[in-house]
């Protein structure tokens, strides 16, 4: 005969010790001793916290008894067991959930900590943004410096090309002998720089010769007549600085051209070379006619 699943196997049956109806003096003494030991034993924090949680849960899950003084006071105002507090039908029926404060810090300290944490986070975000902005500013400044450096190089190359093509057309043998104001303002800077370098070299050479002549013995012959150049060569007269009238004169036209942005000056030279000599600076080639067939365009981007 098959046994049902609900029948308990006799091999697994457990039998509890029957509770005696009467305690002997020895049993009572042993029980009291165990209870005294349990009462005297100091409970751990975990046990105390667990007992406190159980007691709190039991208190919150138990409805207010009708013999409670508070319940009696509310009953006088028409309150009944299970009703909501207040006139609204959607009013709260359950107690407000309590949040225990387990640390020993004062009230409001938690919000102060949150405020300080929020301020630190905001400060960190501002610092990150400032650092990123500074990095972008540095990169932009570096990019601008490289761009200006390239524009300066393009300006010098375009000026040399314009001066060379003008000299070939006009068959100028020595451009440094032409007065500065007669040179096109687009490449007048080149001639001015060469004159300044030449004057500086002459002054250094003159000063060196003057010092050497001062050290060498000089024979003074009163019968010989010496002009200013002889006295200067013999070191009997102080060196006189060389002055170039072209360099000393003001040049408002050149100053106005220099005041233009580098990019605009380069554009003016590129346009002049194309219109006047059919020369493309970006191609580095002089074309036969104004059509300039084969040239991609007038800008550097079009030649990439």
| pLDDT above 80: residue 222 | no
Buried b / exposed e along 115-130 (16+ C-beta atoms within 10 A) = eeeeeeeeeeeeeeee
Q: DSSP for 166-201? A: HHHHHT-S-GGGS-GGGS-TTSHHHHHHHHHHHHHH
Q: What is the pLDDT of residues 147-195, one digit of tens each?
A: 999 999 999 999 999 999 998 888 877 777 788 888 899 999 888 888 8
Residue 262: pLDDT over 70:
yes
What is the average pLDDT value for the chain, to the nearest integer? 79
Q: What is the mean pLDDT of residues 81-103?
A: 73
CA distance 148 to 222: 63
pLDDT band at 241 (very low <50, low <70, confident <90, very high): very low
Reply yes or no on whether the pLDDT at 239 is more than 50: no
Token look-up 């051209």 returns: 257
Tell me the Cα Rg of the chain: 54
The tokens describing 244, both together, are 């170039």
Q: State residue 152's pLDDT score.
A: 92
Closest-CA residue to 279 (of 267, 268, 292, 266) = 292
Average pLDDT over residues 261-280: 92
Give the model confidence (pLDDT) of 42-84 as tens digits: 888 888 888 888 888 887 777 778 888 888 888 888 778 777 7
Q: Would you state the pLDDT for residue 219?
A: 53
pLDDT of 271-301, one tens digit each?
999 999 999 999 999 998 888 988 988 888 8
Q: What is the C-alpha separation between 216 and 213, in angstroms, rounded?
A: 5
Structure tokens at 176: 């440094």
Q: How far apart are CA 222 and CA 229, in angstroms?
A: 17
Closest CA to 270 of 294, 303, 293: 303
> What pLDDT is attached to residue 231?
56
């Amino acid at each position: 005969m098959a046994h049902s699943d609900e029948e308990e196997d006799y091999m697994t049956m457990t039998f509890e010790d029957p509770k005696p109806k009467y305690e002997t003096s020895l049993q009572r003494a042993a029980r009291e001793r165990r209870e005294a030991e349990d009462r005297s034993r100091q409970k751990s924090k975990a046990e105390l916290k667990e007992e406190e949680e159980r007691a709190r849960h039991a208190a919150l899950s138990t409805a207010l008894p009708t013999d409670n003084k508070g319940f009696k006071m509310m009953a006088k105002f028409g309150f009944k067991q299970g009703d909501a507090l207040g006139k609204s039908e959607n009013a709260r029926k359950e107690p407000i959930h309590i949040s225990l404060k387990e640390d020993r810090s004062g009230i409001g300290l938690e919000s102060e900590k949150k405020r300080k944490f929020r301020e630190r986070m905001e400060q960190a975000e501002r610092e990150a943004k400032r650092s990123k902005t500074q990095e972008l500013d540095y990169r932009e400044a570096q990019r601008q410096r490289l761009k200006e450096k390239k524009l300066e190089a393009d300006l010098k190359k375009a000026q040399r090309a314009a001066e060379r093509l003008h000299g070939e057309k006009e068959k100028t043998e020595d451009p440094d002998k032409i007065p500065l104001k007669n040179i096109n303002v687009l490449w007048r800077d080149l001639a001015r720089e060469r004159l300044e370098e030449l004057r500086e070299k002459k002054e250094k050479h003159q000063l060196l010769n003057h010092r050497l002549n001062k050290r060498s013995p000089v024979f003074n012959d009163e019968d010989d007549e010496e002009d200013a150049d002889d006295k200067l060569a013999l070191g009997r007269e102080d060196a006189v600085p060389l002055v170039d009238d072209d360099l000393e004169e003001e040049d408002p036209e050149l100053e106005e051209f220099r005041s233009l942005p580098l990019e605009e000056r380069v554009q003016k030279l590129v346009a002049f070379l194309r219109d006047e000599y059919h020369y493309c600076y970006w191609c580095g080639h002089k074309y036969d006619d104004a059509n300039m067939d084969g040239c991609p365009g007038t800008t550097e981007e079009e030649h990439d």
